[in-house]
């Protein structure tokens, strides 16, 4: 089988598994420029309390090492869209609407990991001695940079990967393999003169187009560091924020039947939960309410702090 045939088979398989976009990048060419930007980000302390980013920084420059996959030749970059249609979203319970869209349903790692593992098994069967490592947030990886290099999309002024035809509400995963496959061509940036995301950000978290200071971002303030005091206007955001994506014209791409958004529908528990309950910080209640949900990451005290902020913002 030629490398081009193997690539076609992988694309077909990835589509069958439910991935909405697939791209290929040469793995043994290191991410020099992106890594330099990442180092500058860490040196400036913009990672805030996310110490794991600084600790694992050296591992993010390359993937062809024992840490990821010795002898890696290709990164297969995968995107799974989580955006739902406006009609579908309209029925979400009020509490779920205070939560970033990716986090309203079950923890996405569960179903995404199954798909990416299945694709890695398929790649291994494409030849003798083929090795393939599935990755879904397990290892430090500059996954947005790899996705851009793989031609999956381009990084917009909001700092997110935008997949034309699918938008930016996508989850990323990778299969890294020692199989050499024809790489795709990176896409040029297509924001043009648009600045909607920068203008829409409630906390002015962008230092410049493409340059986010996470310490000012509501996603950071409600998920990673909910206990950090902030003067920023967090408003009615309980967990995460979609504002810089909601306004992006690329997210007007219609949701199609091939986009399986069912796992991202709100968990039933959000219909029976109030902000006041979450604001109480009650540990057993938090454990029951966030079972299988990404909101567990904030912790009972952290989620309570965010719920209290929302309640205060409603009173003011």
Q: Which is nearer to ligand SF4, 151 or 156 (CB)?
A: 156
Q: In the bound complex, what is the minimum distance in angstroms from residue 155's beta carbon to ligand SF4?
A: 9
Contacts of 147 (CB under 8 A, 6+ apart): 23, 77, 79, 153, 161, 172
Q: In the bound complex, what is the minimum distance in angstroms from residue 165's beta carbon to ligand SF4?
A: 14
Q: Which is nearer to ligand SF4, 53 or 180 (CB)?
A: 53
SS3 assignment for 105-167: CCCHHHHHHHHHHHHHHHHHCCCCCCCEEEECCCCCCCHHHHHHHCCCCEECCCCCEEECCCE
Q: Which is nearer to ligand SF4, 24 or 264 (CB)?
A: 264
Contacts of 272 (CB under 8 A, 6+ apart): none
Name the closest residue to ligand SF4 (Cβ): 156
Neighbours of 47 (CB within 10 A): 20
- Euclidean distance between the first and final Cα of the chain, in Å? 66
Q: Which is nearer to ligand SF4, 132 or 155 (CB)?
A: 155
Site residues (vs ligand SF4, CB under 6 A): 156-158, 191, 194-197, 200-203, 205, 212, 217-219, 241, 243-244, 247-250
Q: In the bound complex, what is the minimum distance in angstroms from residue 142's beta carbon to ligand SF4?
A: 19
- Tell me the catalytic residues: 137
User: For residues 252, 255, 258 and 263, what is the CA-based torsion angle, rounded to 10 degrees?
Assistant: 120
Per-position DSSP letters for 197-242, written without gaps between them? HHHH-TT--EEETTEE-GGG-HHIIIII-TTS---S---S-SB---
Q: In the bound complex, what is the minimum distance in angstroms from residue 101's beta carbon to ligand SF4?
A: 11
Q: Which is nearer to ligand SF4, 244 or 255 (CB)?
A: 244
Contacts of 234 (CB under 8 A, 6+ apart): 202, 203, 218, 221, 222, 306, 309, 313
Neighbours of 278 (CB within 10 A): 28
Q: In the bound complex, what is the minimum distance in angstroms from residue 51's beta carbon to ligand SF4?
A: 20
């Amino acid at each position: 089988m030629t490398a081009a045939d193997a690539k076609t088979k992988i694309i077909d398989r990835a589509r069958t598994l439910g991935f909405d976009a697939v791209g290929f990048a040469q793995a043994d060419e290191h991410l020099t420029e992106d890594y330099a930007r990442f180092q500058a980000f860490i040196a400036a302390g913009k990672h805030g309390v996310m110490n794991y980013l600084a600790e694992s920084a050296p591992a993010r420059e390359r993937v062809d090492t024992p840490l990821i996959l010795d002898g890696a030749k290709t990164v297969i970059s995968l995107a799974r869209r989580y955006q739902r249609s406006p009609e579908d979203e309209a029925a979400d319970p009020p509490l779920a609407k205070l939560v970033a869209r990716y986090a309203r349903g079950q923890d996405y790692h569960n179903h995404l990991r199954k798909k990416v593992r299945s694709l890695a098994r398929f790649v291994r069967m494409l030849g003798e001695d083929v090795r393939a490592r599935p990755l879904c947030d397990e290892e430090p990886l500059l996954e947005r940079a790899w996705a851009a290099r793989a031609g999956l999309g381009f990084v917009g002024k909001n700092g997110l990967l935008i997949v034309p035809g699918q938008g930016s509400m996508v989850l990323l995963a990778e299969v890294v393999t020692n199989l050499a496959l024809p790489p795709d061509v990176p896409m040029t940036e297509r924001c043009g003169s648009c600045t909607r995301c920068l203008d829409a950000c409630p906390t002015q978290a962008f230092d410049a187009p493409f340059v986010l200071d996470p310490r000012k971002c509501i996603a950071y303030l409600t998920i990673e560091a909910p206990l950090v005091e902030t003067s920023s206007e967090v408003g009615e955001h309980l967990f995460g924020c979609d504002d810089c994506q909601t306004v992006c014209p690329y997210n007007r791409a219609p949701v199609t039947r091939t986009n399986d958004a069912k796992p991202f529908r709100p968990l039933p528990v959000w219909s029976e939960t109030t902000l006041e309950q979450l604001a109480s910080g009650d540990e057993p209640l938090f454990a029951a309410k966030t079972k299988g949900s990404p909101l567990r990451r904030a912790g009972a005290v952290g989620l309570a702090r965010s719920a209290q902020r929302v309640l205060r913002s409603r009173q003011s």
